[in-house]
Amino acid sequence: MEQTLSIIKPDAVAKNVVGKILDRFESNGLRIAATKKVQLSKADAEAFYAVHAERPFFGELVDFMISGPVVVSVLEGEDAMAKNRDLMGATNPKEAAAGTIRADFAESIDANAVHGSDSLENAAIEIKFFFSDREIC
């Protein structure tokens, strides 16, 4: 069984569609092994997205991720990492396939509703960033 990290970003939390997004996961064979709502600090967001530190949009990305609370979850299931990425759709919601979370709930490439780990190695790192062992069950 694989585990991956999902973040419902501030835009989707503000739109009150947390339940609708979590339902996409549960309805598509993923189990919620952990979940919580968190207000990230600037230091949290900079550390989480450190891989993007050199990208031109890094400052905007950090500001956006701390603009309101997020809902972080550990999703578990067969091929959980790739399945979550499929359910999310393309980074730019304008390019996201119909029926994906970003096509249905996101506005722009910055406010794109969800994050999902992009490899199993990163999934393990990102899960540890947010959750202790006893919170995952």
| Sites of contact with ligand ATP (CB under 6 A) | 52, 57, 61, 91, 109-110, 112, 115-116, 118
Distance CA 128, CA 3 (A): 11
The single residue of 11, 77, 115, 123 carrying the catalytic annotation is: 115
Minimum CB–partner distance for residue 134 and ligand ATP (Å)? 26
Q: Of these partners, Mg ion, ligand ATP, none, which one is at the site of residue 57 (CB under 5 to 8 Å by kind)?
A: ligand ATP
Kindly tell me which of 36 and 59 has the beta carbon lying closer to ligand ATP: 59
Query: By rule CB under 5 A, what string of x and - marks binding of each residue 99-128 to Mg ion?
Result: -------------------x----------
Output the six-digit token pair for 128. Answer: 């540890």
Cα 43 from Cα 133, distance rounded (Å): 23
Angle subtended by helix axes 80-88 and 120-130, to nearest 10:
80
Q: How far is CA 20 from the centre of its chain?
A: 14
